[in-house]
Amino acid sequence: VNEADFIQALRGFSSLIGDDSAVVPTPGGGDLLFTTDFTIENVHFKRSAPARHVGYQAVARSLSDIAAMGGQPLYCLIAIALAPWTTARWLDGFYRGARRALGGCRLAGGDVSHARDFIANVTVVGSVGRGKALLRSGARPGDRIYVSGKLGGWHHKKKIVPRLDLGRKLVGRASACMDISDGLALDLFRLCAASGVAAQLDTVPLLPRATEKQALHDGEDYELLYTVPSGRRAPGFPIGRIIDGSPSITLRGERIRPGGYDHFQQLGRKARV
């Protein structure tokens, strides 16, 4: 079993699964967005990381999903499982960081439990105009592919900047959008698979000291990846073009394997999944 197969099996349970956030209609006329993300010690951060940074990233990770849908974040739930090493001072720092990331999004509840490692789970509820959410499935042959920023920064250190303003600007402009959480190659492959198209990349904008390999296959960039119909203008870095074909990616003509961060692969090394 790999993560893609597993998510595919889950989709059999519900048509709402598959984008960065779930999209559900409200009686008031708009759509609501729901997203939930783990932040786990030794997976997403090391105990030595500043508490504020951990809290900030935990919230920013979910806000980035709302940005990818073109939405406005409204409410946030923070569930935490305290580890034996967690001090009141550390928790205070964690919540300071979380609040800084929240901006105008309101903390609306949570849960407190305990575990061997510190774990946070952040759920964000957002809103977007009815039928206006940016999905992964709208890319069409001829569309240009963009990223919102340079890629390949070393992922545990970099501060996530959720591209909320850009996401809202892309509503009605981009044909498809998602955030890059598991590496450009894997995430672009997911976008291609959702849209039933292939991608030709010409270039990958790199952060200082980053390699193309890092930009393609490392996780946690949290830039937006989006497609725009040709002739329409959009901000960001153009990196290639959508073409007809079964889901695949080439960079300057060379085929790129859609390898990125896969939680099932991480386990596969030591486990039976």
Among 121, 104, 162, smallest CA distance to 37 is for 121
| Structural contact between residues 51 and 94, judged by C-beta atoms closer than 8 angstroms | yes
Q: Per CB under 8 A, which region of 118-126, 139-147, 196-204, 250-258 contacts a copy of itself?
A: 118-126
Contact 167, 223 (CB under 8 A): no
Q: Which of 111, 165, 202, 244 binds a copy of itself (CB under 8 A)?
A: 111
> Can you tell me which of 85, 156, 202, 232 binds a copy of itself, judged by CB under 8 A?
85
**Contact between 38 and a copy of itself per CB under 8 A:** yes
**Taking CB under 8 A as the rule, does residue 74 contact a copy of itself?**
yes
Q: Which of 47, 150, 158, 263 binds a copy of itself (CB under 8 A)?
A: 263
Q: Which of 114, 130, 159, 257 binds a copy of itself (CB under 8 A)?
A: 114
Q: How far apart are CA 81 and CA 55, in angstroms?
A: 13
Smaller CB separation from a copy of itself, 119 or 199: 119
DSSP at 189: H
Measured distance CA(205)–CA(182) in Å, rounded: 17
Does the protein bind a copy of itself through residue 218 (CB under 8 A)?
Answer: no
273 in contact with a copy of itself (CB under 8 A): yes
Query: Is there binding between residue 211 and a copy of itself (CB under 8 A)?
Result: no
CA distance 25 to 20: 16
Give the nearest distance from C-beta 257 to a copy of itself in angstroms.
Answer: 20
Q: Does 103 bind a copy of itself (CB under 8 A)?
A: no
68, with CB counted inside 10 A (0-12, 13-18, 19+), is buried
Q: How far is the CB of 113 from a copy of itself (least distance, A)?
A: 4
Which residue stretch of 32-40, 183-191, 203-211, 241-249 sits at the interface with a copy of itself (rule: CB under 8 A)?
32-40
In angstroms, the CA 169 to CA 156 distance is 28
49 binding a copy of itself? (CB under 8 A): no
Query: Considering the complex, what minimum distance in angstroms separates the CB of residue 120 from a copy of itself?
Result: 9
Among 100, 108, 130, 154, binds a copy of itself (CB under 8 A): 108
Cβ–Cβ under 8 Å, residues 155 and 210: no
Near a copy of itself by CB under 8 A: residue from 8, 46, 50, 112:
112
Q: Does 29 bind a copy of itself (CB under 8 A)?
A: yes
Paired strand residues for 199: 242, 249
Q: Are 166 and 70 in contact (CB under 8 A)?
A: no
- CA distance readout (Å), 107 to 73, 74, 78, 124, 162: 11, 9, 8, 9, 17
Residues 6+ apart with CB under 8 A from 170: 70, 134, 177, 224, 226, 234
Interacting residues toward a copy of itself by CB under 8 A = 1, 3, 6-7, 10, 13-14, 16-17, 19, 21-22, 24, 26-30, 32, 34-38, 40, 42-44, 74-75, 77, 79, 81-88, 91, 95, 99, 106-117, 119, 121, 123, 125, 263-264, 266-267, 270-273
